[in-house]
Amino acid sequence: MAKTLIRGARVFDGHGLTGPRDVTIDGRVIAAEAGEPDEVVEADGLTLLPGLIDAHLHLKGPETLGKLVSYGVTTGLDMASWPASLVQSLREQPGVSDIRSAGLPVIGRGGRHAQFGMPEGAYAGTPEQAGEMVRSRIADGSDYLKLVLEAPGEGGPDQAAAAALVMAAREAGLLTIAHAASAGAYDLAIAIGVDIVTHVPFGEALRPDQVEALAAAGQVVVPTLTMAESISKLRGTRLEDALETVGALHDAGVPILAGTDANAQPGVPPVEYGSSLHRELELLTRAGLTNAEALNAATAGPAQYFKLADRGVVEAGRRADLLLIAGDPLTDLSATRSITRVWVAGVSK
């Protein structure tokens, strides 16, 4: 196995930067000991980050994965893509972003998402059908269950069906993620106890009682501020509402993860693959996270909450998903865009 020594970089440890130190890549993983390297990368004055994780995107094709990795996004968590054969064809491709996928989401018959020409299997049924629906997602290879919730009366899955799906997924060991883009949909996400809520209300702020409930239940939020910004430009909604919501969630102790909603879907507000995650980090700091907290939200945070124990931190034994940048991102976040080199499972780009 080829060994690479990265010499003298300061390393982001999830909270701050270490002093200059050496990190060795041995094959696919970070090594405990240096040994004899085949290559030495002089990294004096550079910063080494864990590869970035985008906790909300939509896969398109192989070109998506290459684009992501060129921006240092070494893991992409897809929040709805189908057919299963497309998702399967994008898994474990060497040298490009590694993926997890929700596969086909669960939607209601009358909601906004029904207009995207969804396969019949996407529609929530009765509570009694929840177990079968979860089993079919697992058979298709879904890594977690994505529910598209709407405010009451807006055509999403009803509360009984959604609650039964969360229960069935939990019994099967699948994380549950709910799309909620309004305060009404958030009420439902809180009531049914999903693990992770994605988006924040676009065009209104969350209520304080909702923020408290999310914090008390230990729910995690992936706000997709980049999407909020794209929507605000198209529809004139106030980005400030989304920023205030994220600030309030963060103050209340709700874990916040970086996700962009990057997509190539006609009719959906545009968000670019890869570059958007750097924008998301900037928007998270505008909402009140420190630079270090924003970086954590795109590395160790998503690894922890999506149970990806093999990545997200620069330590021996983890995947060698690494991003070498010029400058200090704790004093100037734009440094994350000054990419010197990227490794995905030890393969250098």
Provide the binding-site residues for Zn ion, judged by CB under 5 A. 79, 261
Phi and psi, residue 165, nearest 5°: -65, -40
Pairing relationship of beta strands 17-26 and 3-12 according to DSSP bridges: antiparallel
Nearer to Zn ion, 79 or 225 (CB): 79
The whole-angstrom separation of Cα 55 and Cα 225 is 12
The number of C-alpha atoms within 13 Å of 181 and in the hemisphere containing its C-beta is 17
CB of 58 to Zn ion, least distance (A): 6
At its nearest, how many Å lie between Zn ion and the CB of residue 106? Answer: 14
Which of 237, 290 has the CB closer to Zn ion? 237
Task: Point out the residue whose Cβ comes nearest to Zn ion.
Answer: 261
Strands 29-30 and 17-26: antiparallel
| Residue 76 structure tokens | 């992409």
State the nearest-atom distance from the C-beta of 29 to Zn ion, in Å. 31
Of 79 and 145, which CB lies nearer to Zn ion in the complex structure? 79
Contact 87, 103 (CB under 8 A): yes
Specify burial of residue 153 (Cβ count, 10 A radius: 0-12, 13-18, 19+).
exposed
**Token pair in block for residue 9:** 């970089």
- Is residue 96 within 8 A of residue 321, CB to CB? The reply is no
Give 271 or 303: the residue with its C-beta nearer to Zn ion: 271
Retrieve residue 69's tokens: 């990795």
- Smallest distance from Zn ion to CB 276, Å: 12
Nearer to Zn ion, 80 or 151 (CB): 80
To the nearest whole angstrom, how small is the minimum distance from the Cβ of residue 20 to Zn ion?
39
| C-alpha span between 147 and 78 (Å, rounded) | 13
Closest by CA position to 257, among listed 7, 77, 17: 77
Q: Which is nearer to Zn ion, 79 or 242 (CB)?
A: 79
Dihedral angle, C-alpha 57, 63, 68, 72, nearest 10 °:
160
CB of 308 to Zn ion, least distance (A): 19
Q: Which C-beta is closer to Zn ion: that of 31 or that of 181?
A: 181
Task: Report the nearest approach of Zn ion to the CB of residue 79 (Å).
Answer: 5
